[in-house]
Amino acid sequence: MDITCKPLYRSFLVCVGLLLAISAMHGQDKIALKTGQEVTGKILEVANGSVSVAVGAGTIPYPLANIASVEMAAPAEIDKARAASVDQAIVLLEPLVKKFKGLPADWVPDAMVRLAESYSQTGKENASIAVFQDMVKLYPGSRHQVRAQAGLAKAALKEGKLDEVLTSLAPLIAEANKTFSPSQEDGRAYSEAFLIQGQVLEKQGKLKEALESYLTVVTVFYQNPAAAKTAQEQADSLRKNNPQVVVE
């Protein structure tokens, strides 16, 4: 009886060990270094240009400059913030952004955009601008630059800095004009950019150019439904009040 059971018992222990190992690995984060090495552990924070990772019994800092990519699941607060009020979104996202900004994981700049927009909606324009400026500094050359530039242009428009708005939008508009099939995220930012450009041009009396910008949102970069709706309304209003303005 014992002879028969021992192999089965050993197999059982092996299975349990494998399950425990898999369970331990589940939920861990992965960092791919530019050297080709892969690090598995728990990302704790980003500070002083390095990512602190709990590996085994210790904590090791990895410079951001040496990291090629990161796999880290978004914390539960991200989903909660999507369904939360603006004020509650700020409460949820502020500590996350402070702790992880600069980490090359898509959920981090996504959280930064939501936080900046929430600040703006509650009248905290300086805080909103600071977050977008952090994005420009921390994610150079990435697709997240598009959203940060659009956010900064929107803030400048609120302050009435029309020339500054057009200057900040110029590289974004140029990039958009090269794009035939933008990602959903880029398309949303481009729609904001052309809408803002149209509003500035209309204020400057450049009605034809303004109408072209509005219609570009409606027909090309309509990935942001709110921006597309506003652009259509403003295009309709402009044409109604200025029937001589046409776009070829």
> pLDDT tens across 146-170, in order?
888 888 988 988 888 999 899 889 8
More confidently predicted of 2 and 143 = 143
Q: What is the pLDDT of residue 83?
A: 92
pLDDT at residue 181 above 90?
A: no
User: Which structural domains are found in the chain, ordered by start?
Assistant: 27-73 (2.30.30.100)
| Range scoring the smallest mean pLDDT among 13-22, 56-65, 237-246 | 13-22
Of 77, 44, 73, 74, the C-alpha closest to 61 is: 44
Task: Tell me the per-residue pLDDT of 94-114, one tens digit each, with 9 for 90 and over.
Answer: 999 999 999 999 999 999 999
Tell me the residue type at 233.
E
Q: What is the mean pLDDT of residues 220-245?
A: 95
Q: Could you tell me the pLDDT band of residue 25, with boundaries at 50, 70 and 90?
A: very low
Q: What is the mean pLDDT of residues 205-233?
A: 95
Q: What is the mean pLDDT of residues 188-208?
A: 94
Q: What is the pLDDT of residue 98?
A: 98
Task: Tell me the per-residue pLDDT of 123-132, one tens digit each, with 9 for 90 and over.
Answer: 999 999 999 9
H-run or E-run covering 214: helix 207-219
Strands 50-55 and 67-71: unpaired
pLDDT at residue 26 above 60?
A: no
DSSP-H helix ranges across the chain? 2-25, 76-82, 86-100, 107-121, 125-138, 144-158, 162-177, 184-203, 207-219, 225-241
Q: Could you tell me the pLDDT band of residue 171, with boundaries at 50, 70 and 90?
A: confident
Beta-carbon count within 10 A of 201 CB: 20
Across 103-116, b (16+ Cβ under 10 Å) vs e yields: bbbeebbbbbbbbb
More confidently predicted of 196 and 8 = 196
**Rounded mean pLDDT of the chain?**
88
Report the percent of the chain where pLDDT is more than 70: 89
H-run or E-run covering 163: helix 162-177
Q: Could you tell me the pLDDT band of residue 24, with boundaries at 50, 70 and 90?
A: very low
